[in-house]
Amino acid sequence: MAPMVKVIEVLAQSETSWDDAARVALEEASKTIRGIQSIYVKEMQAIVENDRIVKYRINAKISFVLERDS
């Protein structure tokens, strides 16, 4: 039987970059989810203060394989 994959949507942010925000999303999700297969960055947003980007935000989908009982 083919593996069953679940997709969740998460929001994450970083003060460094969108790449770092994706790393944060993956790092946090992996604390409670096993078998992560991929991360798809769906949307990006930057928060600006005083003409400077101060936060990079992403909306991402994380895919992982569901575990089966033996």
Give the pLDDT mean for 26-51.
96
Give the pLDDT mean for 14-34.
96
Distance from C-alpha of 55 to C-alpha of 70, rounded to nearest angstrom: 44
pLDDT for residue 67 = 82
The pLDDT-based confidence of 12 (bands split at 50, 70, 90) is: very high
Question: Under a CB-based contact definition with an 8 Å cutoff, are residues 18 and 41 in contact?
Answer: yes
What distance lies between CA 64 and its chain's CA centroid? 12
Domains and CATH numbers, the chain: 5-65 (3.30.1660.10)
What one-character-per-residue DSSP string does the chain give? -PPPEEEEEEEEEESS-HHHHHHHHHHHHTTT---EEEEEEEEEEEEEETTEEEEEEEEEEEEEEPP---
Q: Quote the mean pLDDT of the chain.
A: 94
**Can you give the pTM of this predicted structure?**
0.84
